[in-house]
């Protein structure tokens, strides 16, 4: 990827890692949103789908996002083939999206649900296809947009968002993804069904968390004394309070099935994820100097 301060293209292994991260983050966020909107627990048990899909609250379904790391790495490895030919051209994200939709969704070799072959040869109910398609189409669109921007030259690329806002948005996405992973981990540890620990208020809290993380990160990036240890401590302490302390207090007050002191340790994961990303970005932008 073109660094904002250099003209060097990132190595292939870093390119693959970036694609993997973008895939995992978009997969988790879109999955959370659409599984709530279309009630995947009920959808997976609709008609013959109960013999095809694992229950939404099964162990494998809950740890599914972890296996997206493998899928993301495979995406990155394959996209290396298109890296120089397609992904640096104008409107490259639309071209990549077209490839994903046509080859990966509608024109699969096997009878996958929602594909042309699936419609012809399978008995998957139309309700499942209609309710399951929005997540797939949105996630691949978002992924295509993020991936197509990795190798764009800074001199010829028109930034749709200021650099600070872009990084604050990505940090918020990492925070939300980490928040979701910690919820899955605690559900497995406490043997709690995800459906019983997730409701409308959970999504409101998640949205507020993402918004606060965005504001905190934006302020952190634009602060000039960013290498000040005291300032770093304040920023990451605030993130820890946001991602771990506040959920623990809320779960305790509401008598949530996920209330456990262990959350104060497990919920440090989103903070670590944001730290790994944002500190690297700060150095790339040259903001770590007085």
Does residue 172 belong to any structural domain of this protein?
A: yes
For residue 29, the 8-state DSSP code is H
Q: What is the pLDDT of residue 152?
A: 65
Claim to verify: residue 198 and residue 77 sit in the same structural domain:
no
Q: What is the pLDDT of residue 71?
A: 93
Residue 28 and residue 178: Cα distance in Å, rounded? 9
Global confidence as pTM: 0.63
Residue 215 and residue 105: Cα distance in Å, rounded? 36
Claim to verify: residue 191 and residue 241 sit in the same structural domain:
yes
Angle at CA of residue 119, ends 116 and 121, nearest 5°: 105
Q: Which domain holds residue 195?
A: 163-284
For residue 57, the 8-state DSSP code is T
Q: What is the pLDDT of residue 154?
A: 41
Does residue 199 belong to any structural domain of this protein?
A: yes
Half-sphere exposure of 138 (CA within 13 A, CB side): 16
Claim to verify: residue 207 and residue 270 sit in the same structural domain:
yes
Q: What is the pLDDT of residue 153?
A: 47
Q: What are phi and psi of 113, to 5 degrees?
A: -55, 130
Q: What is the pLDDT of residue 287?
A: 52
Q: Which helix (H) or strand (E) holds 51?
A: none
Q: What is the pLDDT of residue 188?
A: 77
Q: What is the pLDDT of residue 70?
A: 92
Claim to verify: residue 203 and residue 274 sit in the same structural domain:
yes
Q: What is the pLDDT of residue 289?
A: 45
Residues of the chain short of pLDDT 50, as ranges, are: 1-7, 153-160, 196, 288-290
Q: What is the pLDDT of residue 157?
A: 44
CA nearest neighbour of 80 among 143, 151, 6, 26: 151
């Amino acid at each position: 990827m073109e660094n904002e301060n250099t003209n060097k293209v990132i190595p292939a292994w870093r390119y693959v890692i970036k694609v993997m991260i973008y895939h995992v983050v978009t997969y988790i966020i879109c999955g959370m949103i659409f599984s709530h909107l279309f009630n995947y627990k009920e959808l997976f048990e609709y008609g013959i789908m109960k013999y095809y899909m694992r229950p939404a609250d099964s162990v494998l379904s809950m740890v599914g996002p972890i296996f997206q790391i493998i899928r993301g790495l495979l995406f990155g490895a394959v996209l290396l083939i298109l890296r120089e030919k397609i992904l640096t051209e104008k409107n490259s994200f639309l071209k990549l999206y077209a490839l994903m939709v046509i080859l990966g969704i509608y024109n699969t070799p096997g009878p996958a649900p929602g594909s042309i072959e699936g419609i012809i040869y399978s008995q998957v109910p139309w309700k499942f296809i209609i309710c399951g398609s929005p997540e797939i189409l949105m996630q691949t669109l978002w992924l295509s947009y993020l991936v197509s921007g990795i190798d764009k030259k800074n001199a010829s690329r028109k930034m749709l968002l200021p650099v600070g806002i872009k990084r604050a948005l990505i940090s918020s996405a990492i925070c939300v993804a980490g928040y979701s992973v910690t919820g899955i981990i605690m559900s497995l540890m406490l043997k709690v069904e995800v459906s019983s620990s997730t409701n409308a208020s959970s999504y409101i809290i998640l949205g507020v968390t993402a918004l606060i993380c965005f504001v905190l990160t934006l302020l952190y990036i634009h602060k000039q004394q960013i290498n000040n240890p005291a300032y770093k401590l304040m920023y990451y302490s605030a993130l820890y309070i946001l991602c771990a302390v506040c959920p623990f207090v809320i779960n305790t007050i509401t008598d949530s099935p996920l209330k456990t002191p262990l959350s104060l340790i497990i919920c440090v994961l989103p903070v670590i994820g944001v730290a790994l990303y944002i500190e690297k970005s700060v150095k790339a932008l040259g903001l770590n100097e007085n």
